[in-house]
Amino acid sequence: MDLYLGKTALVTGATRGVGRIIAEHFLDEGAAVVGFARGEPTLTAAAYHHVQVDLADPMAIQKAFLGLHKQVASLDIVVNNAAVLTSQYAMIMPPAAAQAMVNVNLLAPFIVSREAAKFMRKSKWGRIINIGSMAVSLEPMGDSVYAATKAGLSTLANVMAKEFGPMNVTCNTLGITAIESDMLAQLPRDKIEAIIASLPAPRFATPADILNVVDFFAAEASSYVTAQTVYLGGVN
Amino acid sequence: MNRRDEILAIVLSALESLNEELDEAARVEIGPTTPLFGADATLDSLSLVSVIVDVETALTMKWDAPISLTDDRAMSREVSPFDDVGTLTDYILELLQETSPA
């Protein structure tokens, strides 16, 4: 369908899970895609450019963007998807694990969005989409830091929406539920299934569910949709 | 063109870009003494951010090195680098002497 012909999209955490689903979708729909991830690329396409970067390191992200200015003329869509999750009760959560979640889940999206906005400023067009989580609403025990970083992601987008609005850049957040992924595999299955069973739409998310909202946020017609968080599955 | 003139050209170009985005009544007079920040400045805060971003991007592309104009060092100086076009130019020249000596 070539929804994104002529557009360049950046997806963080593009090598697996939701990030890979989104990156593949953008490629299928005609976009050039830049993938930021810690590991080696898992996508092979002429229009795919992989950048190995440790998203926990702010300087590494800035250095990656310095290189990107030489590779691409514009950056139109950014999906802040990469995240790390350590579930542990607050009193025994290792500080290093908490810091890692803050760095990857919140600080990295801030820096990526900021640097991407500098590109988008030139073209006066942009879509920044943060991948949030139902954990913000459900607030499960063991996920104090994870849920806090994902909640912060929404607020980050909402404030950036005000700052970047004059540049025709929208900033929105998609709160996903559970989708089969490496991240989900870290959690007790029975716990996840109980949460899913309690949702108004009691099923796991599918790639189509996620891409539906990503496409909505990224659409040209959505220029008046900004500072919004949409949750899947009936979470509110 | 010496390095200071190159830097000045970048700063003035950023102000010209800003003026293109502003309504006629809000446009700034552009020159080496244009105030950027403080009581005499006519730029609002977001406009100054736009200028800083454009200048940083142009400097980074030209000298192939990341240049940040808004780190702790800039904020802690007695005379703000952002007082006017001249002070900003001089500050950038100082930074470049350290990161990319001529």
Q: Is A139 on the interface with B (CB under 8 A)?
A: no
Q: Is ipTM strictly over 0.90?
A: no
Q: What is the mean pLDDT of chain B?
A: 88
| Helix intervals (H) in chain A | 17-28, 58-71, 95-102, 108-123, 135-138, 144-164, 182-185, 189-197, 207-218
Contacts of A123 (CB under 8 A, 6+ apart): A74, A76
CATH at B47? 1.10.1200
Q: Around A37, how many Cα atoms within 13 Å sit in the side-chain half-sphere?
A: 22
Q: In the CATH scheme, what is the homologous superfamily, with its name and number, of domain A8-231? A: NAD(P)-binding Rossmann-like Domain (3.40.50.720)
Q: Which residues of B touch A166 (CB under 8 A)?
A: 46
SS3 assignment, position B92: helix
**SS3 of chain A: helix, strand, coil, percent, to 5:** 50, 15, 35
Judged against a pLDDT cut of 80, whether residue A168 lies above it is answered with yes
Is A26 or B96 the better-scoring residue by pLDDT? A26
Q: Which two tokens stand for residue A193?
A: 């299934």
Q: Which of B53, B60, B61 sits opposite A121 (nearest CB)?
A: B53
Q: Which two tokens stand for residue A49?
A: 């450019």
- Compute the average pLDDT of residues A121-142: 95
* A231 beta partners: A175
Catalytic entry in A4, A48, A89, A146: A146
Judged against a pLDDT cut of 80, whether residue B102 lies above it is answered with no
Over residues B16-59, the pLDDT tens digits come to: 999 988 888 888 999 999 999 888 888 888 899 999 999 998 99
Nearest to A153 by CA among A94, A113, A96: A113
The residue of chain A nearest to residue B49, with distances taken between CA atoms, is A163
- Compute the average pLDDT of residues A48-66: 95
Sheet holding A48-52: strands in order across?
A48-52, A32-37, A8-12, A77-80, A126-133, A169-176, A229-231
- Compute the average pLDDT of residues A9-37: 97
Total domains in chain B come to 1
Q: Distance, in angstroms, between B4 CA and closest chain A CA?
A: 23
Over residues A170-200, the pLDDT tens digits come to: 999 999 998 877 677 777 788 888 889 999 9
pTM: 0.90
A106 secondary structure, DSSP code: I
Q: Which residues of A touch B46 (CB under 8 A)?
A: 163, 166
Per-residue pLDDT, A226: 98
Q: CB distance A66–B66 less than 8 Å?
A: yes
Confidence of residue B98 (pLDDT cuts 50, 70, 90): confident
Confidence of residue A76 (pLDDT cuts 50, 70, 90): very high
Q: Is B60 on the interface with A (CB under 8 A)?
A: yes
Instruction: Enumerate the domain spans of chain A.
Output: 8-231
Q: Which domain holds residue B50?
A: 3-99
